[in-house]
Amino acid sequence: MNATDPRLARPDGPGTPLLYAKRAPVFPRSIDGTFRRFKWLVMAVCLIIYWGTPWLRWHRGAYAPDQAVLIDMAHRRFYMFAIEIWPHEFYFVAGLLIMAGIGLFLVTTVVGRAWCGYACPQTVWTDLYQHVDRFIDGDRNAQMRLNNAPWTASKIARRLAKWSIYLAIAFLTGGAWIFYFADAPTLSHAFWTGAADPIAYTTVGVLTLTTFVLGGFMREQVCIYMCPWPRIQSAMLDEKSLLITYKDWRGEPRGSVKTSLRRIDAGLTGALKTKTLGDCIDCHQCQAVCPTGIDIREGPQIGCITCGLCIDACDSVMAQVGRPRGLIDYCTLEDATREAKGEPDAPLLKTMLRPRTLIYFGVWAGVGLALLFLLGTRSRLELSVAKDRNPEYVQLSGGAVRDGFTIKVRNMEDRPRPIELGTSGVPGALIYTDDMDEHTARSSLTMIAPADTTLRLRVYVEEPHDAKTGPITFHLHAQDREHGAAAVRTIFSTPQGADE
């Protein structure tokens, strides 16, 4: 839509652009073809993954939830099959987000807005709702007639039936989302019995409303006006990116099949003049099947989501009129220039494997390998030590010095682990906890670290009266077959050190 569109003209100033234009409804026609079948496949896979993932089970033992994918906000854990992410390991999530962003850059550079055309949630749910439209109202022509018809009992009944299905899909969408944050069977039972937390009902309500409105009514307006990604992608495309292209050098001038060989030349007083037209028969089928309602023959535009349905429609028409396919096709700007000159296209592999895409892929793969390395080498047993600051030390009646420490032992395994805690750095140091008498202090402590949690201890260290302020190292050793270990160095304070 441009500034000269009659819908944008002011009544008091012809040609003066308005800042708002009323939405023109889009009624895409159904089509069958390679890209339509691929969209069916992607939509089915996305919906199955979204609705089915919370119900998958993954056994982690008796001390961890058995939901395969779970964002456990209450216990601050993220579970994804065999992987468990703790809050201090959020860099794994950040790494995955970085990989997703770079992956989008890579896909956009190679095949344009393929994400928008196939896998974007707005596209998937809009496509689903459009199939509901065809099921209730019929195909494009029937939908247009019903839209323009007066409000009768039949139209009201159809609208109520369609909007009820819209609402059911939206409710299922919002309901599935909350199952990622709690055990799905448990939360489902609590939800339907009214025992769930109010935030669960609020979340479902908000997501139901947004899905109902964005997918059922706003549709292509979200892609064209609300989403920033098309504008970002436009800056990422280059002359080697595959775009859906109308090959005007082959299709122009346009004309129907009946006038493809002869047309009336108005300048010759109605005389006939032989003139061959292009392959485009001006049937507008490419525009009729477009989910955003654009005419791809006008060139690349922000409304094109690169779904390829116009290719299916055009190829079908070309087959019917006996002309070669590919009038509308995936094509780079460089190949378009070559084809216009009659030269062959560059090999597809050469188009895809160019410096820019290789750099994107290298960065993407590098981040992925780094995450895998960190995941494989991370310790499942961690130790942190915080020294008391007030008082820094206590001098006992016998002359010995005692320092207090807060110890945290993080066991990230899904089972309890026997551990041994000791010190080094000052000979003769003895340790004990709040649960022990100082007379039972010893050089090391043996205890059980609970599964999948952090054990917090108050530990006291006693050293002989002649000790000086200096470093002390706490050592943690797992006493099971994995033999994990951790060590933290800190300071042991004494009066001698304080006076120096």
Segments of the chain scoring below 50 in pLDDT = 1-10, 263-275, 498-500
Phi, psi angles (nearest 5°) of residue 94:
-60, -40
Query: What is the predicted pLDDT for the residue at 7?
Result: 46
Residues 327-376: pLDDT tens digits? 999 988 888 888 888 888 888 888 888 888 999 999 999 999 999 999 88
pLDDT at 19: 67
**Which pLDDT does position 343 carry in this prediction?**
85
Question: What pLDDT is recorded for position 319?
Answer: 93
pLDDT of residue 275: 47
239 token code pair? 């002359």
Residue pair 378/89 in contact by the 8 Å Cβ criterion: yes
The pLDDT of residue 3: 43
How far is Cα 376 from Cα 332, in angstroms, rounded to an integer?
41
* Predicted local distance difference test score (pLDDT) of residue 12: 52
Query: What pLDDT, on a 0 to 100 scale, did the predictor assign at position 15?
Result: 56
